[in-house]
Structure 1
Amino acid sequence: MFKVFCGCLCWLGMTFGSMAHATSVVFLNPGTSTETFWVTYAQFMQAAAKDLDLDLRVRYSERDPQNTLRQAREALQGPQRPDYLVLVNEQYVAPQIMRLSHNSGVKLLIVNNALTRDQVQLLNAGKYPDWLGSITADDEEAGYLMLKELLSLRGPAQPGERVDLLAFSGAKNTPAAQLREQGLHRALREHPEVYLRQLVHGEWTRERAFEQATQLFKRYPRTTLVWSANDEMALGAMQALRGSGRVPGREVLFSAVNSSPEALQARLDGRISALVAGHFTVGGWAMVLLHDEARGVDIEQHGGRERRVKLHRLIDPRDAQRLLDMRAQEGDGVNFRALSAVGQPATYQYPFSLQLLLD
């Protein structure tokens, strides 16, 4: 009886010991807890963490950078520090968090919005050995693809014809928004017939874009193309267009980034003509990197310190229906463990792609 009792204690000790040593991760989510993109993003991360046996905790800032900094301070200087802190350089908060992390023993990984070139120089990032680097989607390519697809669908302009375009970008101090704008301007350089009447910052919100678009469609009534850096702003601008008596997808072609159910349905209905998506998976792929780093893999060797992955792709109706059918289960069918570099040769490159969900 004593041996059985001791055996049970040993088994319980091993069980709780393994649980206690599970790799812990805190993600500072810059969005709101009701914001479709960031909720979906966190769900994909949770699916990856579950598959990889990571203990992931998500903290939402509710779009308040001060909340992000407070949450970072708690994670980095509190009594229960995680092994890893994952953050987004939204509103340029990353440098302050990196300074808070000094001597904390917590390793940092930046996702979606990397450090800007100026920030890297000012920080002297080499002083932060616990900064693992960043993983982002190629947002410049997303901005480029949207306008190119709109123009392909519209067809060639007639000699001397001018094509009027309106653009809705995100928050000014957000690298992803800036990169998408750069992609827009690259496409504009290739198409001098397109006249960008005005670019405004809709702050990623439907309400703000609706207010702006209501005025802009009156100011520029010949607008036939609308480029939007996310889905919420595109939907707000569409609402404004309908208020003027015109139909999205007919008189005016819209583009957007993201794969919310509403945006996917708009793509199927033809109200959004050019939809780009894929970057909601970045957090999930970040979990693979942290799983490997915790097991001694030099992740820098398998893709560099600051990796920009071509995750964005144009979403056709088949893709849109497939993503709609998944709903909140985007990560359930992905074998994240199979993507690990553990035991792989030095030449191995992580095969991160939206196609992994669509197969």
Structure 2
Amino acid sequence: MLKIFHLSLLLLGALFATAARAESVLFLNPGSTQEAFWLSYSQFMQAAARDLGIELQILYAQRQPELTIAQARLALQGPNRPDYLMFVNEQYVAPQILRLAENSGVKLFMVNAALTPNQQALVGERPDRIGSLVPNDEEGGYLMMKELIRLHPPVAANEEIELLAFSGLKITPSAQLREHGMQRALAEHPQVRLRQMVYSGWMQQRAYEQARQLFSRYPKVSLVWSANDEMAFGAMRAFAETGKTPGKDALFSAVNTSPAALQAVIDGRLSALVGGHFTLGGWALVELHDYQQGVDLNQYGGRDRQIPLLQLIDKHHARQMLAMGNTPNYGVSFRKLSAKGRPSSYRYPFTLQTLMH
């Protein structure tokens, strides 16, 4: 891991030493190159950067927040600084990065998880923090739970529907928000009983090991809610080992539009899937490019925005999205989405529909 770390820091120095005068953006990706979600996220960003003429560099932290902070320190205090640093408030690293950024001359943009209200109060307003873009995580967790309940066969008035839930990391804002959404849906359906929620750290193997114990402890479970696709696959594998069929004997849900998750929707193994937030980094680059050209983001929907990217993906959407993987630039002209020269009523069309035209 140390080798990867040193190599990533060397690459960072090399890239910005030779960068042309297109604006340079460094994205600190909190995930790993083994995770379908963070890979697809990077690929969408790279498509946007190509179209917009942005010099983009992406470093992975392999889910180690201390590595994100080390990468940020070098980027913000080293000799070859990017024009913009884009990062996620994963495991609440943002305040440390903001401290490192003081007087660096680098502009900051947060994606996926922005400052919490408490952090915002402590940090205050800063001229170098130009904006943030986050998805509707709470609504995503809610939509997924509601869809599972909707699809469950009716039960007698005095019967319970038993549920298991697999969440990510306790200290990740997106996991917490998705859980809140699930709990909001459960409050509307008292017949559904959450038997247990576990934290699987977003990992398939961890969820599999936990699910093996949970399915033997709660043999009547017929709904399984998971905050990402990897954990859903781990739970489904454990369920199949009990001799039962995912999608028939119990309904499973997931977040993320990885090819495997889309295929599982088409096959009927996954009953409820929400996704679309892999596009966030690419949309953020459209805003950064506009900012670079003097566009006032406050005029076009505000510099700190939540956008409803997480939506239910049905079989039709899943087929469309699998086909989209082979389309150059996902069929999107990122330059055409610019707010430059538009009336102040213009709103960036950052939705999955923009991809599915």
TM-score range, shorter chain: over 0.9
In structure 2, relative to structure 1, the CA distance for the partners of 1:354 and 1:131 (3 Å cut) is same
CA distance in 1, matches of 2:76, 2:70: 10
- Letter matched to residue 345 of structure 1: P
The residue number in structure 1 matching 2:152 is 154
TM-score (norm 1): 0.92
Bigger mean CA deviation after superposition, 35-44 or 329-338: 329-338
Residue 343 of structure 1, aligned match among 341, 345, 356 = 341
Q: Deviations over 1:103-160 (max 9, x none)?
A: 1111101000111112112222x1x210112101100110000011111111443211
Is the contact between residue 90 and residue 113 of structure 1 (CA under 8 Å) also seen in structure 2? yes
Matches within 5 A, 1:11-50: 20-50=20-50
Query: Which of 297, 302, 305 is the aligned partner of 1:304?
Result: 302
Q: Quick one: distance in 1 between partners of 2:244 and 2:56?
A: 46
Aligned residue identity for 1:164? E
Q: 1:20 to 1:104 in 2, by over 3 A?
A: same
Q: 2:84, 2:71 → 1: CA distance?
A: 14
Secondary structure at the residue paired with 1:160?
A: coil
1:208 aligned counterpart, secondary structure: helix
- Deviation track 1:45-100 (CA, whole Å, cap 9, x = no partner) reads 01001111111100111111111111101111111111100000111111100110
Cα distance in 2 between the residues matched to 1:137 and 1:64: 22
- When residues 225 and 330 of structure 1 are mapped into structure 2, their CA distance, relative to the original with a 3 A threshold, is farther
- Partner SS state of residue 86, structure 1: strand
Take 1:31 and 1:47, find their aligned partners in 2: how far apart are those partners? 19
Of residues 164, 167, 170 in structure 1, which corresponds to 2:165? Answer: 167
Corresponding residue pairs, total: 339
Query: 5+ unaligned residues in a row in structure 1: which ranges?
Result: 1-18
What is aligned with 1:327?
325
Residues 270-314 of structure 1: CA deviation (Å, up to 9, x unaligned): 100001110000001000000000000111221223200001111
The match for 2:219 is 221
Question: Are the structure 2 counterparts of residues 329 and 174 from structure 1 closer, same or farther at C-alpha, using a change threshold of 3 Å?
Answer: farther
Distance 1:330 1:191, change over 3 A: farther
How far did 1:322 drift?
A: 1.4
Instruction: Please give the residue correspondences for 1:230-241 in structure 2 after superposition, counting only pairs within 5 Å.
Output: 230-241=228-239
- Which of 245, 260, 263 in structure 2 is aligned with 1:262? 260
Change in Cα spacing, 1:329 to 1:34, as seen in structure 2 (3 Å) is farther
Taking the TM superposition and a 5 Å limit, the aligned residue runs for 1:65-144 are 65-124=65-124, 126=125, 128-144=126-142
Aligned CA-pair RMSD: 1.2
Identity across aligned pairs (percent)? 59
1:298-345: CA deviations, max 9, x gaps?
112212232000011111111111111223657331011111100011
2-side partners of 1:106 and 1:330: how far apart? 31
Say which of 295, 310, 316 aligns to 1:318. 316
Task: Give the structure 2 partner of residue 352 of structure 1.
Answer: 350
Question: What is the alpha-carbon distance in structure 1 between the residues aligned to residue 206 and residue 195 of structure 2?
Answer: 18
Measured in 2, the distance between the counterparts of 1:189 and 1:71 equals 42
Aligned partners of 2:219, 2:157: CA distance in 1, in Å? 21
1:53 alignment partner in structure 2: 53
Instruction: Note the C-alpha offset of 1:349.
Output: 1.1
Using the TM superposition, give the Cα deviation of residue 20 of structure 1 relative to its aligned residue in structure 2, in angstroms.
2.7
Q: Which runs of 5+ in 2 are unaligned?
A: 1-18
